[in-house]
A = this chain, B = another copy of it.
Amino acid sequence: MIGRKITSIHGAGGFETREVIEKLVVSRMPRELWRALDGSGLDVLEDGSTLRINDEEYLVVSMDNYTVKPLFFPGGDIGHLAASGVLNDLVVMNARPVAFMDGLIVEEGFPRRDLEKILDSMTRVLKENNVALIGGDFKVMPRGSLDGVVISGTGIGLSKKPLINDPRPGDKVIVTGPIAEHGATILAAQMGMLEEAPGLQSDSKPLVKTVLPVIEEYRDHIHAARDPTRGGLSVVLNELVYGKDLAVLINRSQVPVREEVRMFLDALGIDPLNVASEGIAVIVVDPSKTSEVIEALHEKGEREAVVIGEVIKPENPIVKGRVIVETEVGGKTILQPNPLNLPRIC
């Protein structure tokens, strides 16, 4: 149910966002205009869209708007986040990023120095990953009609074999690092609680050098990859099996969460599974290659990569398309795609 007004839950990245996109956007386009050049587009709702450009390769394009508040936070800023986030959407599609375009919208009166800091962060991520900045746009909105800065980013990558969500029973589910760090940090900042929760830091980070080489090498055995940003692990795992004759079974005690993050979220009664990360990936891999993939991730620098569960073919029809969490005490619960309804997390 969308209702008569757009609310913040519609932008939280969960199933409500999917409903808005499907009902208000996708439904307005005829199916034959959901994709272009023999690629994929609205037919799959992945992090990026693909276009076949020659016999060997696809171009992969991803686009995201960044509205995070505060603009500067422990571990990063909106510029770092925009560049990292857009590149990561290409990485999880198994695409090597080659180009980026930035659309900056700035409130009149915004300090040039802050804008320069943001652009320093954004361009540093691009340079370190050998990604060209090929164009963009610059707009100013009158004072009071925009809170600070928003950045829209378009990323362009190349892939011989883009990754499209195709999990199979028995596949193992890997996370490449501790979860919920970005969301917990932004939440603490928005609540004015950064001092009471020392050690919180966003994990905003491009995965081009650490995760992409592993996805490229093991592409034939990797059946899905996503970055659990808006909506956190909960939404990503639910989308993985949504509408399929499969379920995901994860073990809560195996999901890595740093102590500072856990304590802060516990105090607020928030499940870290619902909280966004900006520097990790979820990788779904054939069981025969799981230990090799974990080892390769460790070697590339993702030293905390770990298996948290698996894809199963459920016997009980009630859990089809759902995510089951084994609790620390051995019970099982169903994990709803229930994103933390936190505005301006990214």
Which residue numbers of A lie inside 8 Å of B, CB to CB? 2-8, 10-12, 17, 20-21, 24-26, 28-30, 33-37, 39-42, 45-46, 48-49, 51, 53-54, 59, 61-65, 67, 69, 98-99, 101-113, 115-116, 119-120, 123, 126-127, 130-142, 144-147, 150, 152, 154, 156, 343-344
Q: Which chain B residues border A12 with CB–CB below 8 Å?
A: 140
Q: How far is the CA of A7 from the CA of B115 in the complex (A)?
A: 12
B138, A20: Cβ atoms closer than 8 Å: yes
A–B complex contacts, Cβ < 8 Å, 29 sampled? A6-B108, A7-B108, A8-B108, A8-B140, A11-B139, A11-B141, A12-B140, A24-B112, A24-B115, A28-B123, A29-B132, A33-B130, A33-B133, A34-B134, A41-B133, A41-B134, A42-B135, A49-B99, A49-B101, A51-B134, A53-B54, A61-B61, A61-B101, A65-B103, A65-B137, A67-B139, A137-B152, A146-B150, A150-B150
A36, B156: Cβ atoms closer than 8 Å: yes
A67, B105: Cβ atoms closer than 8 Å: yes
Q: Which chain B residues border A20 with CB–CB below 8 Å?
A: 138
Known: A112-B5, A137-B64, A147-B145. A154 touches B24 (CB 8 A): no
A150, B34: Cβ atoms closer than 8 Å: no
Known: A4-B113, A64-B103. A36 touches B98 (CB 8 A): yes
Q: Which chain B residues border A40 with CB–CB below 8 Å?
A: 134
B344, A141: Cβ atoms closer than 8 Å: yes
Q: Which chain B residues border A132 with CB–CB below 8 Å?
A: 29, 33-36, 41
Q: Which chain B residues border A107 with CB–CB below 8 Å?
A: 6
Q: How far is the CA of A97 from the CA of B28 in the complex (A)?
A: 19
Measured CB to CB, the nearest residue on chain B to A48 is B135
Known: A63-B152, A130-B33, A343-B141. A116 touches B24 (CB 8 A): yes
B105, A150: Cβ atoms closer than 8 Å: yes
B133, A37: Cβ atoms closer than 8 Å: no
A25, B126: Cβ atoms closer than 8 Å: no
Q: Which chain B residues border A69 with CB–CB below 8 Å?
A: 145
Shortest Cβ gap from A43 to chain B (Å): 9
Q: How far is the CA of A17 from the CA of B30 in the complex (A)?
A: 38
Known: A54-B53, A145-B146. A110 touches B5 (CB 8 A): yes
Known: A5-B109, A134-B35, A146-B147. A54 touches B51 (CB 8 A): no
Q: Which chain B residues border A142 with CB–CB below 8 Å?
A: 8, 343-344
